[in-house]
Structure 1
Amino acid sequence: MAASPPLSSSSSSPGRRRTSPPLHSALLREDYDEVLESEVFIDVNRLRKYARHGIPLEIRGVVWKYLLGVEKSDRSNEFTQRKARYEAYREIDKENVEVSKRVRGEATRYLARAKKDNLLDPHSAPAIFEAVICAYINCNNHVEYSPSFVQVCAPFVITMKSECDVYSCFERLVNVLYESSLDNNINKRVAQFLSYFRTLMPELYDYFEEEELDVGEWASSWLRYLLAKELPIQSVLDLWDVYFATPDYVALHPFVCLAILRHLKDSLEDLEQSEIRSMLLRLPKMNISRIVSQAYNIRSEIQARYGTIVSVRA
């Protein structure tokens, strides 16, 4: 059962090692604090601008809630709206025997892999995963459960103090991904992505074919869940800062995937099939700022080659 809605604008994650923030982070924090301390109106456009350069972990959850529309920019009824959201979550049935069992298994495997990052509390996190994902499936039975829901949920478990906030943000994101899949199903998205891949990096594409790599396996996984499953968790957090600050982040995502391939091209061409597959399904940590910058360059390159407008609103 969720606790009473917190009014603090700070967020922390259990078990995380605390260090003194670098100067750049401190300056960013001052910018964010100026916006977040407003008593009347939160300037979400300013938050978007700042978020593209990263969000300090201790306030990431608060900022994400505004970027995702979970918290309203008008603060005049903030407490009433927050209380209503908490009460609504409290009423949701969180029991689902079949889903619970699958979530527990996937959460155990995920936490074992993420142990070295020290960002998730192995004692409290499993119950949060289970409650949030079961609640979502119970309220959205048209959506099929996926084991990747654990990885999609994890960034919110890390950044949010409240289980209700985790649920609200998880629900927003999964709904966006689901609606996107209705507009453009995964087979079409993979086909278009592979067409861009073949055009931009023909040598790497041909090498994957020579190695008989199952392109559909990793490409569909990359495109479905915003790389939550493949990237190290810190890279996911950095990438989602940019995504949530970008109104049309689902449209940007394929170009980020292409930028990652371009970034890893030389390394991938030195590997054999099983090694390539392992790298694509467990990507190394990388500079997300550079990857996103490259993604916009690739988008422009695709636009020039194909003579079409590829809409991604910044």
Structure 2
Amino acid sequence: MRNNNNSREEDRNKETSSSPSSLDSRFNQTLRNVQGLLKGRSFPGKVLITRRSDPLTQPISPSPNTRFSDGDIDHVERVDRTTEDELQKRSNMNASSSVTHTKSLTTGNENTSKETQKSTMGARATDSARLMKFTKELSGPTVILDKLRELAWSGVPSYLRPTVWRLLLGYAPSNSDRREGALRRKRLEYLDCVAQYHDIPDKERTDEEINMLRQIAVDCPRTVPDVTFFQQELLQKSLERILYTWAIRHPASGYVQGINDLATPFIVVFLSEYLEGSIDTWSMDDLSPEKISNVEADCYWCLSKLLDGMQDHYTFAQPGIQRLVFKLKELVRRIDEPVSRHMEDQGLEFLQFAFRWFNCLLIREIPFHLVTRLWDTYLAEGDALPDFLVYIFASFLLTWSDKLQKLDFQDMVMFLQHLPTQNWTDVELEMVLSQAYMWHTMFNNSPSHLAS
């Protein structure tokens, strides 16, 4: 009888271990491991893509830049021994909180303390081990961009951000001996372009160019209106020169509203090399014309590099954005069918809210102080950024899945146009990125995982 009882107990254990709730539990544990790794000292490698019936005995670590083939699906890369203990500790710390609970963190409640934000930042971008890795990568004669991307994906220390962004975008050469001379030449080239295209009388412009310049002049004061620094006349004039020069040199698209927003993270980052303290205390009057020119040039070339990777987003009818909006709709349907069905029943089209997200890369949807952190991840993605945006925006939208299912059409439109992110900190942003991380690893290049 005892043997029979033991046999029944083993059968029950097997059934329990393969039950959906058990699988969900391990799947959620995988997600928590990813969230912990985003704050850790070691950049992730690969992640387990499928749900498995056997226990997960070590932290799983995905890489946003890794592209998987079908043969990779059941493999997990071992974590480096020097960081394994640390990763396990962070994973265990995160194991006590559930994925459903993290949704409540993203509603922008005012109870998120400054201590939480500070500890998160300390564990990530300012962690001493990470700083040493950044320093090591940047101090060599040649920067290995793949390693720099891995570090930058989880956040870049603010004082290193200008250098790292120039390297990630390919504006500054990876060879340190060539870097200073290359920057000097590109900055002079920008000055020549401004003199040739912008600093000329209107009689030398076509009617189309005059109209474009007027539109840019109208849009510049509207750029990031909730940050007073961007209302300074000298800064708006700099932004005008950058945008107009870019538009003239890219006639296939010309100026498109939204590109003005894309220039703002570059302006803030490159100005931080010359201005100290909070952006609220910055003044363009404190800068010499040469420094302003250098900032403008760096912004211009980095903006050009960024837009080169998404040219069809800003050509006629913006087909690139329309394609990504369709992919976003499909991904949301696969991940969260109830909210997808509710939006469809209410007649809400994704283009009505997601077009602006892709056009401005969420700059208008989150507090501006979080934008540069988000862009660390954007730039680390490199050429893969457009496809990864779909996963970030799906994660961003489904932060409010429960809320959306309770709203009718009109209320949904109003809610999605005025999302409650004003009190967001790095904690909520990391949650969005970690969820996007997981979905990208599971679904990208694995169509069978998207099957209903």
TM-score range, shorter chain: 0.7 to 0.9
The one of 263, 266, 273 aligned to 1:153: 263
> Is the 2:198–2:244 Cα contact (8 Å) retained in structure 1?
yes
Question: How far, CA to CA, are the matches of 2:261 and 2:445 in structure 1?
Answer: 35
Which residue in the other structure is 1:289 paired with?
430
Which residue in the other structure is 2:378 paired with?
243
Question: How far, CA to CA, are the matches of 1:263 and 1:274 in structure 2?
Answer: 19
> Is the 2:162–2:270 Cα contact (8 Å) retained in structure 1?
yes
Which residue in the other structure is 2:150 paired with?
49
Question: How far, CA to CA, are the matches of 1:255 and 1:181 in structure 2?
Answer: 21
Q: Is residue 2:211 matched to residue 1:98?
A: yes
Q: Is residue 2:173 matched to residue 1:72?
A: yes
Per the TM alignment, residue 178 of structure 1 is displaced from its structure 2 partner at its CA by 0.8
Per the TM alignment, residue 61 of structure 1 is displaced from its structure 2 partner at its CA by 1.9
Aligned-residue identity in percent: 18
After superposition, the Cα gap between the structure-2 partners of 1:64 and 1:114, relative to the gap in structure 1 and judged at 3 Å, is same
After superposition, the Cα gap between the structure-2 partners of 1:137 and 1:58, relative to the gap in structure 1 and judged at 3 Å, is same
Letter in 1 for 2:412: I
> Is the 2:144–2:174 Cα contact (8 Å) retained in structure 1?
yes
Q: Is residue 2:307 matched to residue 1:174?
A: yes
The one of 347, 363, 375 aligned to 1:228: 363
> Is the 1:148–1:229 Cα contact (8 Å) retained in structure 2?
no
Which residue in the other structure is 2:84 paired with?
none
Which deviates further from its counterpart, 88-97 or 127-136? 88-97
| Structure 1 segments of 4+ aligned residues over 6 angstroms from their partners | 180-184
Per the TM alignment, residue 49 of structure 1 is displaced from its structure 2 partner at its CA by 2.1
Task: List gaps (5 residues or longer) in structure 1.
Answer: 1-19, 310-314
Question: How far, CA to CA, are the matches of 1:223 and 1:256 in structure 2?
Answer: 11
> Is the 1:213–1:273 Cα contact (8 Å) retained in structure 2?
yes
Which residue in the other structure is 1:143 paired with?
253
Q: Is residue 2:334 matched to residue 1:199?
A: yes
> Is the 1:152–1:229 Cα contact (8 Å) retained in structure 2?
no
Letter in 2 for 1:94: H
- Could you give the per-residue CA deviations for residues 48-95 of structure 1, whole angstroms, max 9, x where no partner exists? 122122112233222111011100101222232112111111111235
After superposition, the Cα gap between the structure-2 partners of 1:236 and 1:178, relative to the gap in structure 1 and judged at 3 Å, is same
After superposition, the Cα gap between the structure-2 partners of 1:176 and 1:124, relative to the gap in structure 1 and judged at 3 Å, is same
Superposed, 1:100-119 pairs within 5 Å as: 100-115=213-228
> Is the 2:247–2:255 Cα contact (8 Å) retained in structure 1?
yes
**What TM-score comes out, normalization by structure 1 length?**
0.79
Task: List gaps (5 residues or longer) in structure 2.
Answer: 1-117, 200-208, 272-294
Question: How far, CA to CA, are the matches of 1:57 and 1:274 in structure 2?
Answer: 40
> Is the 2:346–2:408 Cα contact (8 Å) retained in structure 1?
yes
Which residue in the other structure is 2:324 paired with?
189
Aligned residues: 286
Question: How far, CA to CA, are the matches of 1:125 and 1:132 in structure 2?
Answer: 11
After superposition, the Cα gap between the structure-2 partners of 1:172 and 1:238, relative to the gap in structure 1 and judged at 3 Å, is same
- Let me know the Cα RMSD of the aligned residues: 2.9
Question: How far, CA to CA, are the matches of 1:190 and 1:260 in structure 2?
Answer: 14
Per the TM alignment, residue 26 of structure 1 is displaced from its structure 2 partner at its CA by 5.6
